[in-house]
Chain A
Amino acid sequence: MPMADNEALPDPPDTGPDNVIHPSQFDWVKSASPEEVPLEIHDMTVAYHKKPVLWGVDLAVPKGKLIGIVGPNGAGKSTLIKSIMGLQPLSSGWVKIFGKPYRENLKRVGYVPQRESVDWDFPVNVMDVVLMGRYGRLGLIKRPTRKDREIARECLDKVKMLPYASRQISNLSGGQQQRVFLARALAQESDVYFMDEPFVGVDAATEAAIVELMHELKEKGKTLLVVHHDLPTAKEYFDMLLLLNMRVVAFGNTAEVFNVELLQKTYGGRLTVLSEVAEAVKASQT
């Protein structure tokens, strides 16, 4: 029946937030203890010079999962990570790590930033960089102790970079630099790790080593959120995926979320990416 002009449109049916796979996604949070919720975000909006970069992000991440964050360039993936850690101011919303604000739970968060964020000509060697992971626990003025050095050595060993401990960081390949960053994050001895595009520009061997490490961490009960740039491997590496394009398009188990429809929604009709997407989906279905 045609509606009169001044009649209000009927309310849409209540399926919860429009784009999320699981309408009741946040119910489990209500009954969970803070320890089981490494990350909770409510209505986060981040703007840069009045231009929104992230809009109304709601998220609740379960413990012990490998989570990939994918989306097109400029989707706000790095911004999401930086905003969670307080490196960028929020226009609205809040973030909780294990039930407390970030500043109160600093020590439980490990960070692997993008490799290009740093000047690799800086006069430090590999060991110096990894030791920086221990600084958070030392506070002001205190120097790293022997114990700290031992832990740093262990972490270097885990990423197989111990022989390079005295090498200046510019004398490293891309993969080696990434491993150093990883070792630094490991040295933080955290419970939840945020990684920003750790696989960019690394060789195949390093990539495999990083994935192995990620699984090891997961077995120990750690939670990992990784900004990832490559769709086909995203399906392989991660338990859950967050599809992000300024808003959360979808968040859930990889098998359920990684389908053509949602990926198209995320990547919004960019041709080159769509064909990648189609290939990735096809490949995953064989």
Chain B
Amino acid sequence: MRHGIKNTPGKGSCAARQRHGAGFPSIGVRSILLRLVVVAFVVCLAPGCLADRIGDLTETSVIDQAARFFSFRDESLRYALLGTILLGVNCGLLGGFIVVRKLSLMGDALSHAVLPGVAIGFLWNMTKDPLAIFIGATIAGLLGALTVSAITHTTKIKEDAALGMVLSGYFAAGYCLTSMIGRLETGNKAGIDHFLFGQAAALNRDDILLMSVVTALTVLCVSLFYKEFLVTSFDAAFARAVGFPATLFHNGLMLLLAFSVVIALQAVGVVLVSAMLITPAASAYLLTDRMHRLLTLSALFGVATGAIGAFLSFLESGLPTGPLMVLAATLVFGMAFLFGPRHGVLIRWWRQRSRGHRVRRENTLKAVYQALERREFKGESVTLLELAQRRRETEEEARQQASALIRNGLATRHGTGEQIVLTPEGWLRACEIVRNHRLWELYLTNAAHIAADHVHEDAEKIEHVLGEDVVRQIERRLDFAKTDPHGRPIPSIDDMRRGAGGLFGRDELVGYGKTT
């Protein structure tokens, strides 16, 4: 038997039978590790370099250049690409926690605060020694974090101002040092300059080694202590109450953050590192509701935008890599912001718009039903004029609404075109709406004791969203009443089905009140 009645899935057994998986990221993180291994494999087995410097390359088309870039054939490019991949993973994973813990600006402050450390590390050997720079930068970063903490705990100065002061104060000190270094004849100024806006092409084997170690550490910590980081991020008080040292994990996260900032410096630059921490993670945040998926997506976005940024910089060798990576990441964010399936702004607007259309269609159907009812269901066509009067619209608007019904298969034109007749499906839906409306009005007046003249507005809204289950419950509650508070008949489901069962030709249109 043709139902044609929409069945909204109940909240009973069907849902209970679903798997309630609280997935743990063993899968996501392991796959990241796997990818890293593959990359390392490829790198080690790849043939030796064919070009020592980027300047040796002569391909001109973008496709060819892309192929060259991503195929790991050139040693210097290989390092650039590998470096950005590593930093993408690292920043992506940590960024996930930074964003959900609202520490974005701490990341920014840290990234600026490391500059004096970089300068001092540089001074250590008068050359770009990755380890010395790493240690110097980490110490500076941690000192910066401590300073912020000290300021907020010992004065009334709020955290945002403290972050701003540390950010700019340390950065200024760092810049003083770099300008002093630039003065020196032995000072490799170009090397220091790369730290401001990043130049992935300047990465060498030692850098990559350091980055791999730090990334491996991050991946290890995040996967081993996932649940600890999760619970301390979500509800630190509860975490402490059950015995987890929340402060310790916070400090650990800060330390990993400092490491992450430092290794990303060369590729992205001091000023924009925080963007690589925040933006991919924020994009992921908009696309998923589960933490482990957020981390995976964030790492993926980090890798993708890092690689794209490096590639673009390679195409146009005058440009620093940092800004290009950030722009790529922001583009991804923009897409997620607009088109994200669940939270995307445009998607939500579209859904609201369709919902609006559906509501208007249903109101028109209701008007048709009421017009027919007025005539005691004599004749089945309704003129546009009647419709316009019922809905209190102009004839033009009624015509548009009628066209919408016809487009959706709920009505057809009749005769000269100024009249419409409901199709079986349209008829059923019209009955449903009227039934929902009148049942709800009755329910409100009887069960909730609301005055009969107050219930119409409410019913106008509810009628579009009542599900099948709820309607049946209400019917039962009201003892299958036949009339609404205004004395009009309520079509019952059986009535409608009886009517629908006989609907195959328009001449045999049968509905409530009609006879076969």
Contacts and interface: CB of A to CB of B under 8 A. Distances in A.
A and B touch in the complex (CB under 8 A): yes
Interface in B98-149: 100, 102
A2 interface: no
B289 A125 contact: yes
A136 to B, nearest CB: 3
Contacts of A184: 238
A79 B471 CA distance: 48
B20 A153 contact: yes
Given A124-B291, A144-B22, A136 B242 contact: yes
B230 interface: yes
B397 interface: no
B20 A135 contact: no
A95 to B, nearest CB: 13
B100 A140 contact: no
A273 B16 CA distance: 45
A121 to B, nearest CB: 8
B233 A122 contact: yes
B244 interface: yes
B244 A122 contact: no
Given A86-B240, A124-B230, A143 B24 contact: yes
Interface string A22-53: 00000000000000000000000000000000
Interface residues of B, number: 36
B243 A113 contact: no
A149 B244 CA distance: 20
A117 B235 contact: yes
A86 B227 CA distance: 22
Contacts of A125: 22, 289-290
A106 interface: yes
Contact of B16 (A143, A152, A163, A188): A163
Contact of A87 (B11, B224, B241, B244): B241
A183 to B, nearest CB: 12
A118 B234 contact: yes
Contacts of B227: 132, 135, 138, 143-144
B243 A168 contact: no
A111 interface: yes
A94 to B, nearest CB: 18
B240 A87 contact: yes
Nearest to B294: A123
A188 B239 CA distance: 12
Interface in A116-140: 117-119, 122-125, 127-129, 131-133, 135-136, 138, 140
A128 B240 contact: no
A119 B232 CA distance: 12
B243 A106 contact: yes
Contacts of B237: 82, 87, 111, 113, 117
Given A87-B237, A117-B235, A135-B242, A122 B22 contact: no
Contacts of A200: none
Contacts of A168: 289-290
Interface string B1-31: 0000000000110011010111010100000
A168 B233 CA distance: 16
B241 A123 contact: no
A246 interface: no
Interface in B286-302: 288-291, 293-294
Nearest to A127: B22
Contacts of B24: 143-144
Nearest to B233: A122
Nearest to B290: A123
B285 interface: yes
B495 interface: no
B18 A166 contact: yes
Nearest to A157: B16
B291 A135 contact: no
B225 interface: yes
23 contacts: A87-B237, A113-B237, A118-B234, A119-B102, A123-B288, A123-B291, A124-B230, A124-B291, A125-B290, A127-B22, A128-B230, A131-B22, A132-B227, A132-B230, A132-B231, A135-B228, A144-B24, A144-B227, A153-B20, A163-B11, A163-B15, A166-B18, A188-B242
Interface of A: 82, 85-87, 103, 106, 109, 111, 113, 117-119, 122-125, 127-129, 131-133, 135-136, 138, 140-141, 143-144, 149, 152-153, 156, 162-163, 165-166, 168, 184, 188
Interface of B: 11-12, 15-16, 18, 20-22, 24, 26, 100, 102, 224-225, 227-228, 230-231, 233-235, 237-244, 285, 288-291, 293-294
Given A119-B102, A136-B243, 18 more contacts: A87-B237, A106-B243, A111-B238, A118-B234, A119-B100, A123-B100, A123-B285, A123-B288, A123-B293, A123-B294, A125-B290, A128-B290, A135-B228, A135-B239, A135-B242, A143-B26, A162-B20, A163-B16
